Each structure stands twice: as structure tokens, then as C-alpha cells.
Amino acid sequence: MPRARKVGYFTAWSIYDRGFVPADVAVERLTHVNYSFAKLEGNTVALGDPWADVEKPHPNTTYEADDLKGNIGEFNNERSPVRLRNPQLRTLISVGGWTWSGGFSSMASSAHSRAEFVRSVGDFLQRYRFDGIDIDWEHPVEGGMDGNPHSPDDARNYLILLRELRQYLDHECPRPRFGRYEISIATSAAPSVYRHLDIGAIAHVVDHINIMTYDYAGSWSQSAGHHQNLFKPTAGDQGINSHDTVSDYIHRGAPPHKLVLGVGFYGRGFSNVKARHSTIPTLPGLGCSFSGVPKGTWEPGSFDYKDLRANYMNHDANYTIYWDDTAKAPILFNSHEQVLISFDDAVAVSWKADYVLRRGLGGIMIWELSQDYQHELLTKICDYLG
């Protein structure tokens, strides 16, 4: 069996308020870094934040005249200290994401615009020394950010685009350092979204599929629930769990070894949880109604694991950890403030890593690397996946 992938997303904006730079990434423990995000300008791929991406100097790197700088240079410049720590690391540029997926539908709709995109990808990969591309179109046909254009033909055009991209990178571009450019895609765990895709045909073209098996519950939900539970929960089943999603992808034609299970290194919070309505005393608030979300770490309702680990999971905090043994997922609950936080801890990611091995999946994908606590979750994943 091929070595399990350990794919970590590094976000360009991590270097700002979060103070997380490429040198902080445990590259020795990863097989892939997906650099997020590039965007579409018209029908071509463009840098998302040029200063952070290729201009910012990093203090521990000595640059020569033609060297890549910025975050991308730290990962892709063969002389950078980060690269030297793991010369076998593969880096992919991730294009799109939640905010920058609005141009995909139009770009994929014609042979001319697809060809323009495909050529720009080849140029981009060579110029910035990436080992492949991760297409994060959120989402074809329906879903994604309000206002994004959609078409009933999106799914068909997406498959054509991926086939044309594969053909171009294999036959029209110089061979990269690892012999072949990789193509991955990021896809939803929601059946209402991925039902439009020809999963089997896509899996035949791409190297792997990163399933975003998280955000099952949040501010948009009717009740407080797990946001990335492996199995059906004890209470408050919102209809999605990772096991069922993976099984459905396989049923739709994806070989297990091409499926990469997503793990969010963050939690989702719920305020004013009506815990008195809990049906299971050992899981207070789970499946109960709520109103609003707590402040979060950087945005309302979302908590970095490092924040939870340092400030919510200690003896001085007013939160108690409860374990849902059916879902294989924990929650934090504050009975005084009536706040519930769903997240993954070291035990939960252990279950997921073991699940990847037992089902012969392609590996684990992490959103995103700056949110870990002293590499605690990544280390636990590596205890299983190597």
C-alpha cells in the first residue's frame, strides 16, 4: 500500500496576526503542503497575496538574486532552511477556496477559457516551483459563498477541465522534480453538494480527493452538534458524519486509496444552549437548540485548537470535556454560560487516523496548520500514519 498522505494546508494570512510562518510548520511530519490560496484573474491563476507569497523576506534564509522569496520561497526554494528539513515534501498550490471560487463556473464553461486556465497553471507551477495543483472550487452547480455564479453544466465542465489539465501537465510541461505534477481537489462532505459530481470519473483523473469532512454544524444549524464527528452521534444527528460520507464516495466510484479524510484543527461554538433539554446527561447540550455563537479565536464561533487547549481545556477554565463514544468525538461545555464547543482532540484524531488505515484510505488532510497546539494533533496522526 502507498504511504499515507499527510496533507497540511498553510494559509498565506497566517503570517500576520497569527504570527505563524513556514518555519513553524512541522514539514518533517508531512508529505504535502497545500499553499492557500491562489485566485483566478479572468481565466488565469494569480497570486492571492503577492507580498506574503513571494516578496516577504524571512530572517533565517539567505537569498541569491534569482531565489524565490516569501512564503512560497520558504517551501519551494531548494536552499531554504524549511525545504532542507524535508527535501521530499511535495507542495501544491491551492486555487480558489471559499472566498475565491466565484470565477470557476465561467472559466470552465468553454474550451477557450479552459485552455487559458490550463496554460496558466503550467506556467505558475514552473515559475514558483510547485509540485502540483489543488483545485478548491466551492462548489460546482450549487453551494458555496452567496453570490457565486453557478450553472447546471458546472459538474460536466469540471470533469472536462480536470481531464484537460491532466493532459496538459503530463504532455506539455517539463517534468517536475518528482517526475509528475500532482492534481488534487477539495470537495464537500455534504451530499447535497457533491451529488452533482461524477466522483468515479474525477477519481480516475486526479491523484487524490481531499474531502472536507468538517463544518457539519455551526451558526447555521438548528441545534448544537458535532462539527466533524467520525460516526453518527449519540444525540442531535444532523445527517452528516465522516464514515457515511467516505462510504458514499466509495459507492460512487472513488477508490479508497484516493480519498483523503479532512480533519479540522479548530472547533465550532454555540451560545445560549438549552441544555435543560438534553436527552443524555453525559453529553449536556448536544442536540439542543441554541441562539448565537461565542466570540471565537479570530472569528465568531470558530476556535483554534491551540486556543482551546491553552484556555478552555485546563483546570482554571469553566469548561468540562465530554466524550461521545458513539460519534468518537468530544465536546466542551460551560454549564454557567451555556456554551458548547465541538472540536477534535488527540483522542478523536487517533480514531480518524486508525480509521484511515482500516479502510485503506489515502491519508489525512488538515485545515489548517497554524491552529495546532505544539504539533500535538499532527504528532498523534503521525503515530498512526508514520
User: How does pLDDT run along the chain (386 residues), one tens digit per residue?
Assistant: 568 999 999 999 999 999 999 999 999 999 999 999 999 999 999 999 999 999 998 887 777 777 889 999 999 998 899 999 999 999 999 999 999 999 999 999 999 999 999 999 999 999 999 999 999 999 999 999 999 999 999 999 999 999 999 999 999 999 888 899 999 999 999 999 999 999 999 999 999 999 999 999 999 999 999 999 999 987 666 689 999 999 999 999 999 999 999 999 999 999 999 998 887 889 999 999 999 999 999 999 999 999 999 999 988 889 999 999 999 999 999 999 999 999 999 999 999 999 999 999 999 999 999 999 999 999 999 999 99
Residue 332 lies in a domain: no
Residues 6+ apart with CB under 8 A from 42: 103, 107, 116
Q: Which domain holds residue 208?
A: 5-264+345-385
CA 323 to chain centre: 24
Whether residue 37 has a cis bond before it, omega within 30° of 0: yes
Q: Please report the pLDDT score of residue 235 as a whole number.
A: 67
Q: What is the reported pTM?
A: 0.96
CB contact at 8 A, 65 and 37: no
- Cα(61)–Cα(81) distance, rounded to whole angstroms? 7
> In whole angstroms, how far apart are CA 55 and each of 121, 246, 329, 379?
20, 40, 41, 31
Element (H, E) at 308: helix 305-311
Residue 295 lies in a domain: no
Placement of cell 536552499 in the chain: 79
Q: Please report the pLDDT score of residue 11 as a whole number.
A: 98
- Cα(246)–Cα(243) distance, rounded to whole angstroms? 5
Q: Please report the pLDDT score of residue 176 as a whole number.
A: 87
Residue 302 lies in a domain: no
- Cα(233)–Cα(168) distance, rounded to whole angstroms? 44
> In whole angstroms, how far apart are CA 365 and each of 83, 232, 308?
20, 21, 20
**Strands of the 266-270 sheet, one edge to the other:** 302-304, 266-270, 339-342, 329-334, 320-324
Q: Exactly one of 138, 299, 368, 376 is catalytic; which is it?
A: 138
In a 3-state reduction of DSSP, which class is residue 264?
Answer: strand
Residue 41 annotated among the catalytic residues of the structure: no
- For residue 64, the tally of other CB atoms under 10 A from its CB is 7
Residue 324 lies in a domain: no
CB contact at 8 A, 23 and 73: no
Q: Please report the pLDDT score of residue 111 as a whole number.
A: 98
Element (H, E) at 7: strand 5-11
Residue 53 lies in a domain: yes
Residue 132 lies in a domain: yes
Domain with residue 165: its CATH number is 3.20.20.80
- For residue 72, the tally of other CB atoms under 10 A from its CB is 26
CB contact at 8 A, 139 and 185: no
Q: Please report the pLDDT score of residue 236 as a whole number.
A: 60
- Cα(38)–Cα(50) distance, rounded to whole angstroms? 10
Task: Pick the closest to residue 345 from 334, 331, 355, 333 (CA basis).
Answer: 331
Residue 309 lies in a domain: no
Q: Please report the pLDDT score of residue 151 as a whole number.
A: 97
Number of domains in the chain: 1
Residue 270 lies in a domain: no
CA dihedral 300, 303, 307, 308 (to 10 degrees): 120
CA dihedral 207, 205, 353, 13 (to 10 degrees): 60
